[in-house]
Chains A and B, each alone.
Chain A
Amino acid sequence: MIEIGIPKIDDYLKGGLPIGKSLLYYIHPGVEGDIFGMQTLYTNLQKGYKGICITATTSPETLRERFREYDFDLEKYEENFDIIDAYSALIGADSSEKYVVDNPEDIKNIDKVITETIEDSSGGLIIHGSLSNIMDMCGEKETLECVEGWNKCMLLYDGVGIYNFTAWPYSDETLTKVRDEFFNAVVKVGGIAEKVIFGQYYSVSKSDWTDDNLGHSILFKILKPGGVRVYLPKILVTGPFNAGKSTFIHSLSTRSVSVDRFGTTVALDHGHVDYNGFSADIFGTPGQERFDPILKTLGGEAMGVFLVIDSTKPYECERAKQMLDITKTFGLPSVIVANKQDAPGASSVDDLRIEMAILDEHIPIIPVVAKDGEGVIEAFEMLIDRIMVRL
């Protein structure tokens, strides 16, 4: 199995891409999709596989720069990495790459170089940087005929083929063929658009070895450095007054801001977390009852909830449950943050579990000292796990 290296995709594909198979990233125009192939390549270079990238729209030097932008350090794996340069000849430039296409507008020339490379690099990955570009230059039918040949060759030489394809408005016949016929797996990378594209998602739309998780969409963001991150646009932090919600958000976030008065949150807290393949925006509610009318608005469209309680005040559980009700987040993936564990008189997690029997017993309780950052990441990881099993 080759690991895809994109969050959740390996789970959906039951561990990744079996040797000898091919995967297509089917990318809607305008959506940043070329990073997907790059991330898959880099993930496997780190695991000791050979990787080859075909470039038809970018000079090899610029391509290497693109990897660096994401902090993908190719130099460490230079021995196992090669580029098929199908670009330099197009602008009349010399190439110092091992594999060079002399005439990028001639599919026979491209085919010859790719086939030779597959034979040379048995057991490796070939990343086709832009299949659509080769189709545009060399003809759709001719290119797709070669794709069949390359995929057979990969099977013969124990490699895998990863293709980036921008779904420009080709004929329906071409697009259907690309989506349905030529590849063992297809991952759609799309944009959420109203008047403009304002969000991006991916989903596995085809896999010929498992169909358990087809069609689940995951929102994502591209980070530089970092690469593809699952994006959780809204995680809510709520809980009774003075439980330490703002401190928890500040402690968890890579950047954050609070709207407060004399140290008490009077509007909301906002923080952003980038951690371990996930990118999340965190919104905190005020805890005082006089702000209850705005809680429903703040809770709208949340994907998960941290319920922060003061471990020295387990009797506030009723108020905590009331806040989940008001924010309409009861039933969403939740984690109870038992804050102030270091304070005198703080109840243990087991005691809190008894005190909080009013809440679902399956909601995990994580002991936390937010002011020192203790337990904060554990709480985040726990909530992410609970959100992801639902996707």
Chain B
Amino acid sequence: MVEYKLGVSGLDDAIGDVRGGSNIMLIGPPMSKKEVIINNIAYQGLMTGESSIFISTGESGESIIQWFEENGKDINGYIDRLGVIDCVSKTLGLNVGDIDHIKRISSPVNLTGISVSITNFFEEFWMKKGIQKSRLCVDSLSTILMYSNLQTVFRFLHVHTRRIKTAGALGVYIIESGMHDEQTITTLKQLFDGVIEIEEENESYFIRSVGLTQKPTKWCEYEANGAEMIVKHKERR
């Protein structure tokens, strides 16, 4: 069976390997460094010979690549296994075209275009490059939900979470907590196999996973030091 390590040490200790075909919601408040977590998950895939497809609704494709470079995560040797779907540059009216590892989408409302780019990257990695372990990292669903209604996004996710399952890949999707009503989160949760939850308390952030292990893991405090996630074994009271 295909399994994946998230690449976030404290979380990996608590969760163990994640079964291939899993879709995980990563939900937490703004400024809780969710992007550091998801970037590390994508990087872990690249380092271990997998492919990583990254959908960015907040940063241009180049900025995503730059983040890795600036934070000492050298991806030069792995760039042919990285695919970034940039939903930002065209929305800002920048006159930039596609390059091998960055495909630009006209806007986050263009779910058809995002969908086609995911398919194209999967085809390239699986069929042309023979890489049959893939991660899809979406940062973030909240932006997509700002442009399209819940039902539309649900249909889009329904298609792609099933494709992740069929391909035995790993999907991780960021959601901003506090930005959507409870019904939206509950509706979307139906599509996921597990949730990584982040909460803030007394200016500290705590993280746990639900649904990926028999019981929810314990809340542990964490902090991000640059690009590194430090999950402390200090439990929440």
- A binding-site residues for B, Cβ under 8 Å: 27, 29-34, 56-59, 61-63, 87, 90-91, 130, 132-133, 136-137, 166, 168-170, 191, 193, 195-198
- Give complex CA distance A67, B193 in Å: 40
B119 near A197: Cβ-Cβ < 8 Å: yes
A-contacting residues, B47-106, CB 8 Å: 90-91, 93, 106
Beyond A30-B119, A30-B159, A168-B156, 7 additional contacts (C-beta under 8 Å) are A31-B116, A31-B119, A57-B110, A58-B113, A91-B91, A137-B149, A196-B119
- With a cutoff of 8 Å between Cβ atoms, the chain A residues found around residue B106 in the complex are 57-59, 62-63
- Give complex CA distance A165, B222 in Å: 45
- Give complex CA distance A91, B109 in Å: 10
25 contacts between A and B (CB under 8 A): A31-B116, A32-B119, A33-B116, A34-B113, A57-B107, A57-B113, A58-B110, A58-B113, A87-B109, A91-B91, A91-B107, A132-B112, A133-B112, A136-B149, A166-B112, A168-B158, A168-B159, A169-B158, A191-B119, A195-B132, A196-B119, A196-B127, A196-B163, A196-B167, A197-B123
- With a cutoff of 8 Å between Cβ atoms, the chain A residues found around residue B163 in the complex are 30, 196
Secondary structure of the B contact surface, majority rule: helix
Taking the closest CB of chain B, its distance from the CB of A81, in whole angstroms, is: 19
8 A-B pairs with the lowest CB-CB distances in the bound complex, closest first: A58-B106, A30-B119, A57-B110, A136-B152, A168-B155, A196-B122, A166-B112, A62-B106
Residue of A nearest to B91 (CB): A91
A29 near B159: Cβ-Cβ < 8 Å: yes
Known: A30-B118, A57-B112, A57-B113. A195 touches B159 (CB 8 A): no
A62 near B90: Cβ-Cβ < 8 Å: yes
- With a cutoff of 8 Å between Cβ atoms, the chain B residues found around residue A87 in the complex are 107, 109
- With a cutoff of 8 Å between Cβ atoms, the chain B residues found around residue A58 in the complex are 90, 106-107, 110, 113
- Give complex CA distance A166, B160 in Å: 14
Q: Does B166 contact A (CB under 8 A)?
A: yes
Interface size of B by CB at 8 A reads 33
Taking the closest CB of chain B, its distance from the CB of A258, in whole angstroms, is: 20
A133 near B109: Cβ-Cβ < 8 Å: yes
Taking the closest CB of chain A, its distance from the CB of B100, in whole angstroms, is: 13
Most buried by A among B93, B109, B110, B132: B109
- Give complex CA distance A121, B136 in Å: 44
Q: Does B143 contact A (CB under 8 A)?
A: no
Residue of A nearest to B152 (CB): A136
B116 near A195: Cβ-Cβ < 8 Å: no
A61 near B155: Cβ-Cβ < 8 Å: no
A-contacting residues, B139-172, CB 8 Å: 147-149, 151-152, 155-156, 158-159, 163, 166-168
